Amino acid sequence: MINRYSDHAANERTFLAWVRTAIAVVAFGFLIERFDLFLRFAARDMPHAAPPAHTGAANLIGILFVVIGLAMIIIATLRFFRTEKEIDAPDIKLAPSGRLDLTLSVLLALLGFALLLYLVSAILQTS
């Protein structure tokens, strides 16, 4: 039996949850960037349709989502290995602060808000 198995299993579940979330963030960023590209090509084939505005903003937001998702995977991996060592260590350590988690959440919220502003401005310009 593995010593402190339940702690190691919880660490692994947490790691996998972070990775699943990061994959979703990367996929969402890819979708934002590619959908904007699709809109540009569709507008080119329809002469009566106005080309989509702010295409650069959607591309930038999509790329930032991908970058943050990749950063989440790297951070989750580093935390997984650090926690694994701390579980096996004989001395007691304080839990790490949640500043990095809060920073990632704030960045994702700001990007989501920027995407909302982009969508609202695009809707208002097409009406």
Average pLDDT estimate for 3-27 = 93
- CB 23 within 8 Å of CB 68: no
Between 44 and 113, the higher pLDDT residue: 113
pLDDT at 53 (0 to 100): 56
Give the residue carrying structure tokens 């994959």.
23
Does the pLDDT of residue 119 top 90, yes or no? no
- pTM to 2 decimals? 0.73
What is the torsional sign of CA 36, 42, 47, 48? Answer: negative
| Burial class, 8, CB count within 10 angstroms (exposed 0-12 / middle 13-18 / buried 19+) | middle
Structure-derived torsion over alpha carbons of residues 20, 21, 26, 31, reported in degrees to the nearest 10: 100
Residues 31-79: tens digit of each pLDDT: 887 776 666 665 666 666 555 555 677 788 888 899 999 999 999 999 9
